[in-house]
Structure 1
Amino acid sequence: MADNREDIILVVSINSNAFSGSQVSNMKASKNESLKKSQAATENADVGSQKNTSSLSSLSLQLSESAARAAARDSSLSRKELSAKASELLSKISGDRYFANKKTNDAEVPDTQDPGLLARASNATQFVNGSGKNPFAGMSSDQLSLIIYDDSGSFTTNERRAAWSESYDQEYAWRQKVVAHSIAEYNETGKLTNFFAAALEHYKDLPAIEQAQYPNSYEAKLQGWIALDFNYKTNTVEGKGSAQDVMDKVLNLDKETFDNAGADAV
């Protein structure tokens, strides 16, 4: 697993700044939606092979409390502040900062007597060190996000890293699927409209703290490209470069593409 999540945090989950006006309202609505989805999803969470009812009940309670903290955090920060907060939180579970504190991270134990929580934390440490199964395998993206960005101490650093690893894998799988469909779309129609629509839908489903990591213009750009419905094979206005070039720019959040004004930067 690569440690630079920004390489995969797709059209859909990455680093940048702040919305304004109606975009702020849209973001707040998205926050509420994500919270509702997270809370509803926790009721039926099936964390990998952990079938123990008490363990699931403990996790459900943890996630519910994390959702409440996330909602409070998201409502108190601007998009730019939320992006900075995300970077800070991710630095604790990935990259040089994580490995500089590896010994401490591996020795961390939850402040609990609950055997299920203790076992899960131990499993997470084993997993991030290359053995065993990820205790968060198969969890929903909303639930994983709650764990990844929860620095309250409810989850250990290695649990958060394990959740981040699962989120990374799910993101990568989504990327492979959407690119394959987009190549088929381009070969058949010469367009990438469905690709842009899939990227936009994926973005809108993200929790606020992950949306905040995308460029401010991300949603508007995609909406503009969808509305244009250009045929790249006929080399109309936006038809510069190959279909793969366009997809790479969107998936890698190309700075020049998203910093340019208007909807014709591709």
Structure 2
Amino acid sequence: MTEKLQSGVRLRPVDLARPHGLSTQAVRNYEEAGVLPAAERTESGYRSYTPLHACALGAFLALVPGHGHRTASGIMRAVNRGSVDEAFHLVDESHAQLLDDRRTLRAVESALRDLGPDATAPGPAGRAAPAFIGPLADRLGIRPATLRKWERAGVLRPGRDPLTGYRVYDEADVRDALLAHQLRRGGYLLEQIAPLIDQVRAAGGLEPLEAALRDWHGRIAARGRAMLSGAAELDAYLRQSGTPPRRSEASGTS
């Protein structure tokens, strides 16, 4: 929102709600939650909004796709109570998380390259020394209980030692555990990973996983683009609300 706000203009809740397809109750809820600055009241008790409130609502709705509802709400509440540095800190945290997500995606792709085509295709039992639950958990940096949880979710299907009954993870099981671990780091839920691993097993290749990685790339790119849009709307709101730039921005020094 870049147009100059008109002073003295009064808006009803419906005037804020209608352009965004919201209910008037949603607008009132956003005000009560601190996402919008407090509205003045008419003599009869009705809320009276201004174009500044419309600008705040536009900024919040633009922040949600990139930062999520909770963080976007926190950003707007911080701005509206004058804690701009806190708002910037929340923005920075979201950008750091996005960067971490990008790094995780690269780690998954690197893990797949490290596995190589031979390791990702089903092979005869005994190609590699079997692993037990403790050493495999240590290798992945997780607890054995996590591997047991993945097994209950259908992600892993280890065999059992016929004498001791201990879980035994063959080469394919280790591959599945590695892929599951990387996908969990990427934000995938176990119920999403289990069918993906099943497809990899059945297909004898990584086409299903490659499709998931393409989708992951797309979601990260969309979130980054949404953050840019949200930043522009937030900057417009800060300018319209008269929030002064930080000293380093005003003086051009760091």
TM over 0.5: no
In terms of Rg, which structure is larger?
2
Greater relative CO, 1 or 2 (CA 8 Å, sep 6+): 1
TM-score (norm 2): 0.26
TM-score (norm 1): 0.25
